[in-house]
Structure 1
Amino acid sequence: RLCEPAGGMNIVTVGAIAHGNGLSTRAADNVGVRAITDAFEPSPFSRAGPGVRGAIKPDFTDIGGTLIYDGPTAALHGGEVRPEAGVMSLHYRPVDRLFAARSGTSHAAPLVAFKASQILARFPNSSANLVRALLAGSASIPEEASLRLASLGNPAELALCGHGRVDSERAAFSDDARVVLYAEDELAIDHFAVYQIPIPEPFQTERGRRMIRVSLAYDPPVKHSRLDYNGLSMGFRLIRGCDADEVFEHYRQRAQAEGPVPDMENRFNCKLTPGPGIREKSSLQTASVTFSRDISAYGDNYFLVVRCAGGWSGDTGQQSFAVTIEISHEAEIALYERLRQRVRVRT
């Protein structure tokens, strides 16, 4: 079987996708040489998740080259043999040769690291958790990879591509019809936080595809010698159609004498994809919900609930985390200006 990627929960791991089919013009006419991938499909050498305890690994993917099958030698060739199959890089002996081509996730990982550095340059005081959350919120699985893996189902996409390929511009900037809100915060064990999310009227009623995407990053204590690797866990829910008092009443801890937790109708809980059973196994989580109909009946405020549940780590004090929320509409409507006005009024 394929080896799992690096298992660390709190580190960013990277898989590879191909830049093309790896065939030169000459090799394309050779019946004995066959491509394994096309552009933006998973590279044949990229390791497959899930990671420890079913966590989504790798976290991201980027260009790492490909392999081709050479029939006459019955071997797989990468960029070191056939340059067209590899990614161009500097040669380790620049006096002898300036450039070289290679295939491997070792070329994809620096691309993600560079995008993370661009985010840090934009927000120099941000924590590692915020950088990770912004990376996840901007990532998407290439359509070509989704088509190639479609027959294997959604788990294969997550296992090979993670959250997808990072778009550093989307991570660092909002635009007129797409707004990113973020917060860095701390939570005590077995506590929760509620964030009020303003939903502008055009987002509720204007025709077209609309999306809300939530990303969460935290860094729990971990121990390799334990089966339950992470010492605590966190998760989030997006609630609509309720007021703040109802949300707090539903999620607060209760004494046994108070009876069971009051029910909350399913329609108030936004169905984020992937669901909590998949995403909450990771310390880097992202999920989204899309709308195409009028949603004005649910009001102009949603609530993001972030919860921290204890584990073997006991009372470790405050757990730091970062959360981002992207609100976008496919139509060119002025979401950014409307949200900024509402935030100013509240401030």
Structure 2
Amino acid sequence: MLRGLFMDGSEHLVIDEIEQKELQDNQIRIHSEFSAIKHGTDLHILSGKSPFQNMTFDTNLRLFVEAPEAGLQHSGKRPFGNTTVGSVIEVGKSVTKFTVNDKVFTYGPIAEMLIVDEDNSYLEHLVSPMAATDALCMDPAFFAYGAIRDAGAKPGDNVIVSGMGAIGVFIIQFLKLSGCLNIIAVDPLEKRRDLAKQFGATAVLDPTQCDAAVETRSILDGKGADIAIEASGNYRALRDSLRCVQQNAKVVTVGYYKGKETDLALGQEWHHNQLTLISSLPVWGNPMRDYPLWNESRVRQTLIEMFKRKMISSENVVDPVVTFEEAPEAIMNVYRNPSESNKLGVIYPNNVEAQ
């Protein structure tokens, strides 16, 4: 019996049997070895506060519209997880790009076995020196890279980043590569601030222990930052980001905000400092802002090459790593206490050395 991880209601995860389907001619079967969750989106949906609970996003109107039946997509069992690394164990008759024993990675749920179409644009070979943890971090690296391009960070810029989850620490790495002069990382968790310093933050702040806006000006000789990037999806952090920058600065959001509570005070610094607020989300039918020079495929191939050249790193980002059997409880622990994790990884009993 093959099993997968499912969400079967708000704030509840279970391991259950998965349907064993016949392999089609254009598909490959993958023996899963290492998987990860997407902390922002997956935990957002787990909370039951996703806008998709009672609304749907009309891709023609580009609007969320009321749709009570939309919640049905979250009823019953829903596969849970984001990215999986594994080995090809079977290929369909018409498959030409992959062979048995190839190491691959793809978007996919946490499950002991996956079936993926050969032409799936997210299915890639995992080739040394790219590590399995690098593959699991392709998703946060992708959104971090998009945020950097939207921010237009340049050599010498002073940048403050809120939220040192997986996306945040990759933003720090890209800012360092961009030659930014001062890179200030903000997070209430010491473990995450330490990781930010490992990857190039020049200063770190605990927003629960200081006024980040005042401290930023202390670090920058009385001036605010040129750019703020908000990666936590927390409204209070967004308010602080608006306060941490100087006149005519950019504030870029990459976090997935939930709920309707807000600490925003748009009549204050946002209004009086003439700030520009940019949402960075190069998916959901949104092109890169510098399309057609850059598109999703080019970004993904660029990131793979950057991982191979060791220009960016996933070292210590995938943490903790738990077994498949431990996953439901471990993920709920992370959901209730974010300090327990940066990006949770899952290994399988059939290959506990996958990491």
TM over 0.5, shorter chain: no
TM-score using structure 2 length: 0.23
Higher relative contact order (CA 8 A, sep 6+): 1
Bigger CA radius of gyration: 1
TM-score using structure 1 length: 0.23
